[in-house]
Structure 1
Amino acid sequence: MFLKSKNWFGKSFQLGVFLLGLIYLLNYQEGLSQSGWTKGKKEGFYQLSYQSMLSSDYFTLEGEKLETNQFSQQSLVFYGEYGVTDQFTIIANLPLQTWNGFENTQKVSGLGDLRLEFKHAILKKYLPLSISIAPELPIGKANNFAKSTINDFEQINLPSGDGEFNVWSTLASSFALPNTPLYGSIFGAYNIRTEYEGIQFSDQFAIGAEVGYQIAQKVWVNARLNALATVGDVLVATDFVRGDGTEYTSFSFGASVPVYKKFHLNLNYRNFNDLIFDRKNLYSSGVVSIGLYYERK
C-alpha cells in the first residue's frame, strides 16, 4: 500500500489508490475562518494564498498509522468576502490550481471545487451570531490520473475535486473585548454529502474555535482548534480518494502584517493530532501557507 520499497506498484497499487483522504480537504477546511461577523455593505476581503504539505504518514479508517511513499500537495487558492448588505455577506473559496503527486509518480494538477457561502447575521451588535449555507460545486477535476515513474503502465487517480455536490451549514458566534484588541469565535457546521458515480458518501460535522490578538496595533496573531468527524461508521473502503470517513483534530497558528496600504501578508501553520477526534483516512503533517490579502472598508 505505497509502502516504501523498490517496487511499490503491482498488487499494492490497487490498494494504494484508497490512501488519499486529504487530497481536496486541505483546500478549504482550515483556510476559512468561521465567525459570527458579517461584512458591512460594500466592504470586502480578498486573498490569494499558496499552501503546501508533504507527508508519508497515512492514518487508515481504523486510525492505524502507516508509512507510505511521500505524498505532496500544493494549492493556489482564492478566497473572497463581499458585504451585499450590513447583514448579508457572500463568500467564495476556489482552489485555482492544486498539484498532487507521490514521490514515484508524475505530479498532476487541476482546478478545485468552488465553494459559495451565503452568510446572514442573526445578531450583530452585542453578541455577533451568524448562520450560513455553503453549496460546493463540483467543477474541479474528479478524475486526474498520474502515471508511475517506475512502471509507465501503472497509474493512480489524484483528483483536485471530489466530484460530488455537497452543502455545508454553519452557525457561528464571536466576541470582541472593548478597548482591547482581542477577539474570539466558535462555530459548528454540518456537511450534507451526496454521491459520485453511484457511491454515496457519509455526512460530516465540524466544530472549531479561534482567538486572536493584535500586537503593537499592527500585527494580528491567531490560534485555531478545529475538528472534523464523519456521521456514522464507514467500514468499507468505497472511495477513500474523496474523503469518505475522514476524521481529525487540527490546530493552527497564524499572523498577518501590513505591507502596503490596505494590503497585508498572511502566514499560517497547521498540523493534526487526536485531541478531539482521532485521525482517520488522511495524510497527517504540517501545512504551511502564505497569502496576500486586500481589505476594503
Structure 2
Amino acid sequence: MMLTQKGSLVRILGIGLSFLFSCNAGFAQSGWTKEKGEGFYQLSFNRFSSSYYFTLGGEKLSTNTFTQNSLVFYGEYGLTERFTLIANWPLQIWNGFNTTETVSGLGDLRLEFKHTLLKKYLPLAISVAPEIPIGRANNFAQSTQNDFESINLPSGDGEFNVWTTLSTSFALPNTPLYGSIFGSYNFRTSYEDVSFSDQIAIGLEVGYQIAGKVWVNGRLQGLNSVDDVLVATDFVRGDGTEYTGYSFGASVPVYQDFHLSLNYRNYADFLYSRRNLYSAGTFSIGIYYQVKPKSNE
C-alpha cells in the first residue's frame, strides 16, 4: 500500500493505530467514586494528525500523514455509595492517510466497574474494565493514488482485554487542590490467533480551581509492555506500544450544570520511550453535564 517513497512504509506503520483511539480519551483514574444517583456525562470531539511514527525499536520515521477524528461518550454513574459504573465509548472514529480515503466506524466499548476500598480519609478504589470489541476490526481505506491498493484502518482492535486499576486521591480541606495517582494492568488476549503482550500503565493528575469556577489540571501517564515485543506480528493492534503521555486541561461552567472542557495531549520519552505509535498532539473539546444526587431530606 502507498508505493511512494514515504508511503511504502505504511504497511509497517499501521501497527500503532489502535492505541490512538483507546488511550487518547485522556480520562484519568482517581480514588473517588460517585455518590448514589450522582452522574457525570461528557461528549467530546478529538482530533489527531501526525506524519511521525516511532518503530518498535524507537526509531523515528517520517511517513504519509495519518489523521484521526473521534466523537467519544464518557459517563459515570453512582449505583451505590461505594460502587460506580463507568462507560467510555467512541461513537464514531474517522481514520485516513493523506494518500487514502477516510473510513469510519463505531469504536470498542469500555465498561468499568469501580469499587471504593477506602473512602473517608484516603480515597482508594479498585476497578475492573473489560473492553468489548464491538468496533470494526477490519475497515479498509482505498488508496487515492492507486486503485488496486488499500490499507486496514480499523475503528476497533478486535481483541477482548481487561484493565484492572488501583487508584488513590487526596483533596486539601481549605484549598481547591486535588491530586490522584494510579497503576493499571491490561490483560490482553488475541485477534485472529495472534497473541499480544500484557501492559502496565501508571499515571498521576493534579488539579486546581481558579476563582471558584475554572478547573485546570495536568496529567502524566506512562504505558509499558510486559513482554519484549521484537517483531511486529500484526497489522493494527498496537502490540509493543509504549509511551509517556502528558496533557493539560481546563473546564468552565457555561449554563447551570453544563460545562465546557478543553484538553491537549502529547507524547514524550521521559518515563517510557515512544515505540510503535504515531506521535503528535491531540486536541479535544467537549461538553459535560453533572447530575447531583437527590437530597435525603
If the length of structure 1 is used for normalisation, what is the TM-score? 0.95
Q: 1:28 to 1:292 in 2, by over 3 A?
A: farther
Q: 2:42·2:289 contact (CA, 8 Å) conserved in 1? A: yes
Distance in 2 separating the partners of 1:273 and 1:45: 30
1:188 is paired with a residue of what secondary structure? strand
Distance in 1 separating the partners of 2:178 and 2:57: 37
Deviation at 1:161, TM superposition (A): 0.4
Q: What pairs with 1:109-128 in structure 2 (closer than 5 Å)? A: 109-128=104-123
Distance in 2 separating the partners of 1:112 and 1:230: 23
Aligned residue number for residue 72 of structure 2: 77
Deviation at 1:16, TM superposition (A): 2.2
More off after superposition, 67-76 vs 235-244: 235-244
Q: 1:234 to 1:156 in 2, by over 3 A?
A: same
Deviation at 1:240, TM superposition (A): 4.3
Q: 1:28·1:93 contact (CA, 8 Å) conserved in 2? A: no
Q: 1:27·1:77 contact (CA, 8 Å) conserved in 2? A: no
Deviation at 1:26, TM superposition (A): 3.0
Distance in 2 separating the partners of 1:290 and 1:26: 17
Q: 1:45·1:81 contact (CA, 8 Å) conserved in 2? A: yes
Q: 1:212·1:221 contact (CA, 8 Å) conserved in 2? A: yes
1:90 corresponds to which of 59, 66, 85: 85
Deviation at 1:239, TM superposition (A): 1.1
Question: Is 1:41 matched with 2:36?
Answer: yes
CA RMSD of aligned residues (A): 1.4
Letter aligned with residue 101 of structure 2: Q
Aligned residue number for residue 141 of structure 1: 136
Question: Is 1:167 matched with 2:155?
Answer: no
| Aligned-residue identity in percent | 70
Question: Is 1:65 matched with 2:57?
Answer: no
Q: 2:6·2:63 contact (CA, 8 Å) conserved in 1? A: no
Q: 1:21·1:283 contact (CA, 8 Å) conserved in 2? A: no
Aligned residue number for residue 247 of structure 1: 242
Deviation at 1:2, TM superposition (A): 5.9
Aligned residue number for residue 295 of structure 2: none
Could you list the per-position Cα deviations for residues 233-278 of structure 1 after superposition, in whole angstroms to 9, with x for gaps in the alignment? Answer: 1111111411100000011000000000000000000010001000
Distance in 2 separating the partners of 1:61 and 1:8: 18
Aligned residue number for residue 20 of structure 2: 26
Distance in 2 separating the partners of 1:16 and 1:267: 31
Letter aligned with residue 149 of structure 2: E
If the length of structure 2 is used for normalisation, what is the TM-score? 0.95
- Gapped regions of structure 2 (runs ≥ 5): 293-297
Deviation at 1:137, TM superposition (A): 0.3
Aligned residue number for residue 258 of structure 1: 253
Letter aligned with residue 20 of structure 1: G
Distance in 1 separating the partners of 2:252 and 2:142: 41
Number of residue pairs aligned between Structure 1 and Structure 2: 291
Aligned residue number for residue 262 of structure 2: 267
Aligned residue number for residue 11 of structure 2: 17
2:12 is paired with a residue of what secondary structure? coil
Distance in 1 separating the partners of 2:141 and 2:21: 20
Deviation at 1:77, TM superposition (A): 0.2
Distance in 1 separating the partners of 2:184 and 2:193: 26
Question: Is 1:229 matched with 2:201?
Answer: no
Distance in 2 separating the partners of 1:137 and 1:203: 16
Deviation at 1:8, TM superposition (A): 5.4
Letter aligned with residue 20 of structure 2: L
Distance in 1 separating the partners of 2:143 and 2:6: 10
